[in-house]
Structure 1
Amino acid sequence: MTVVASEPAQAVGPLLRAWRERRRVSQLELALRADSSARHISFIETGRSRPSEEMVLRLAEHLDVPVRERNSLLLAAGYAPRYRETPLDDPALDALRTGMERLIRGYEPYPALVVDAMYNVLAANRGITLLLDGLPESLLAPPLNAMRLTLHPEGLAPRIRNLPEWRGHLLAQMERDIALHRSAPLRALYEEVAAYPAPKTGPGAEAGSGGEGDDPVPYFALPLLIEHEGRTLSFISSISTFNTPMDVTVAELAIETLLPADPATVKYLHSLGA
């Protein structure tokens, strides 16, 4: 196991103030949440008072600071990092890794995958490989990246019938993650995929349209409408993360499942499974 550690760039006070302002929380509101006083919060932010380790963690919790950044706050305050960063292939995470793999396999024939904070694909089931069938080897070489696979003009993008809407959804998701994690590599990935030329696709299916011969389906969320062997499959994306993670690696894992959004997609995927 390794511990996340780096030299603090600034004192803890300005860092906490930046997180508070990013969350649009006043000093008084934060003080009430953390069972403190606005005066004490002000003293911490201006450097007049050094917060205890417990106070740093309490403020980070109420400001929803990512686990990786909580270590940075502790270092800036002069304390040791609290959260480890365990490699996913470490034996200590065997149960977690096995559980995730069992979960996505059990979701078949529907697509499911596990990604890290950079959207690198760590595990995927046969439903995902079905959608990736026919993509060029250059995109399928490891490490697989979900954003590159989806938005690259030689990837899934030409197959996505509602590409402008789905592309906008993915880029907005990345923007939220960048604001949360302040990650330079994630920013570089965003700039790369945002610069991909959007290939022309066929006319997008109207929201609420089902498969051929089916009654219209009222989608309850933005669907992914994707072509597969002459058929349009529709999915709704759901993302799951771990509650109260105590490890940086675990905190940055996400399990994405694609739920069929119409009866035609359900019937088709089960026919392939059979």
Structure 2
Amino acid sequence: MGAVAVNEETFGELLRSWRQRRRVSQLDLAIEADVSARHISFLETGRARPSREMVMKLAEELDVPLRQRNRLLMSAGFAPVYPEREVRAPEMEVVRQALDKILAGHEPYPAVVVDAAWNLVAANSAAAMFMDGVPAELLKEPINVMRLSLHPDAMGGRLLNLAEVRAHLLYQLRRQAEGSGDARLAALHDELASYEYPGVDLNVAHVPGPADILVPLRIAAGDRVLSMFTTIATFGTPVDVTVSELAIETFWPNDEETAAAFHQGMGG
């Protein structure tokens, strides 16, 4: 049997897809890119071919992720501009040093580094609490942090406010999938949404009270209840695909009892 041809999307199709994903009209994009709306139309229909500089400008205006900017460039006949290095590559030493300092500096509280698909890249020692008692199959590389968070045999079985945390995480994942065009995130969302939790009402809606500021993670840890919230940080002005997709999620105590538990080394 002969090889099956793969139909690659053209530059025009990709440009239209990103413009529609960002909910930008041809006219609005033309104004931002300082070209005519007719030219944008010709680019999308294939009647005009973009220069390398035009591809870069349109991608910037549409806030296209670096990985997808390379794809746009290749679809227009140009070489990729943004490199993609392994985190362990020698050139990434300065990035690794920054990550190590952030992770170590956040102890005794948990902190993790994830990639664009929410796969674990690095973690500090306190983050081991999220893996205690988790089946080995869920800890096979690559370890997915979202999967650990909601799987019923992992944190999903320990979250005391599972319904509201699940709703927030699924919403966040869906928005990321739609905004990035990453099929991996869409597939991950569908997988997590399919998890079943016998005896748990997933339709329970928490009504924020006057003292509520954030949705906490309320985790059963032995005879304790740990209450935490998270923050997420990214690198500014990245020009490497890998670096642009890294995110650092740090976990913070939501009350004095949780803070004391971690300082006493009893987070697990």
Give the TM-score range, shorter chain: 0.7 to 0.9
Mapping of residues 77-96 of structure 1, within 5 Å: 77-96=76-95
Q: CA–CA distance in 1 between the matches of 2:200 and 2:224? A: 14
Q: CA–CA distance in 2 between the matches of 1:18 and 1:135? A: 40
Q: C-alpha offsets along residues 67-102 of structure 1, whole Å, 9 cap, x if unaligned?
A: 111011111111111111111111111221121022
Question: Alignment length, in residue pairs?
Answer: 261
Q: CA–CA distance in 1 between the matches of 2:233 and 2:198? A: 30
Does the 8 Å contact 1:115/1:253 carry over to 2?
yes
Cα offset, 1:8, TM superposition: 7.7
SS at structure 2 position matched to 1:10: coil
Gaps of at least 5 residues in structure 1 are 1-6, 210-216
Does the 8 Å contact 1:160/1:201 carry over to 2?
no
Which residue identity does 1:102 align to in structure 2? K
Name the counterpart of 2:226: 233
Please, what TM-score do these two structures have when normalized by structure 1?
A: 0.86
Give the alignment partner of residue 265 of structure 2, picking from 255, 263, 272: 272
Q: CA–CA distance in 1 between the matches of 2:128 and 2:8? A: 43
1:169 aligns with 2:162: no
Name the counterpart of 1:69: 68
Gaps of at least 5 residues in structure 2 are 1-5
Q: CA–CA distance in 2 between the matches of 1:8 and 1:91? A: 36
Q: CA–CA distance in 1 between the matches of 2:107 and 2:145? A: 19
Q: CA–CA distance in 2 between the matches of 1:149 and 1:200? A: 20
**Which stretch of the first structure deviates more once superposed, 180-189 or 48-57?**
180-189
Name the counterpart of 1:47: 46
1:74–1:221 CA distance, 2 compared to 1 (3 A): same
Does the 8 Å contact 2:119/2:145 carry over to 1?
yes
Cα offset, 1:180, TM superposition: 2.6
SS at structure 1 position matched to 2:264: helix
Please, what TM-score do these two structures have when normalized by structure 2?
A: 0.88
Name the counterpart of 1:191: 190
**Which stretch of the first structure deviates more once superposed, 230-239 or 157-166?**
230-239
Name the counterpart of 1:249: 242
Q: CA–CA distance in 1 between the matches of 2:244 and 2:182? A: 15
Which residue identity does 2:86 align to in structure 1? P
Q: CA–CA distance in 1 between the matches of 2:22 and 2:208? A: 36
Q: CA–CA distance in 2 between the matches of 1:132 and 1:181? A: 28
**Which stretch of the first structure deviates more once superposed, 237-246 or 113-122?**
237-246
1:138–1:43 CA distance, 2 compared to 1 (3 A): closer
Q: CA–CA distance in 2 between the matches of 1:268 and 1:229? A: 12
Name the counterpart of 1:214: none
Which residue identity does 1:196 align to in structure 2? Y
SS at structure 2 position matched to 1:85: coil
Name the counterpart of 2:156: 157
Does the 8 Å contact 1:159/1:227 carry over to 2?
yes
Q: C-alpha offsets along residues 149-186 of structure 1, whole Å, 9 cap, x if unaligned?
A: 11111111111011011111111222122213333333
RMSD (Å) for aligned C-alpha atoms: 2.6
% identical aligned pairs: 48
Q: CA–CA distance in 1 between the matches of 2:200 and 2:134? A: 16
Q: CA–CA distance in 2 between the matches of 1:259 and 1:200? A: 29
Does the 8 Å contact 1:208/1:219 carry over to 2?
yes
Name the counterpart of 2:256: 263
SS at structure 2 position matched to 1:84: coil
Name the counterpart of 2:55: 56
Name the counterpart of 2:112: 113
Cα offset, 1:30, TM superposition: 1.4
1:180 aligns with 2:179: yes
Give the alignment partner of residue 218 of structure 1, picking from 211, 219, 222: 211
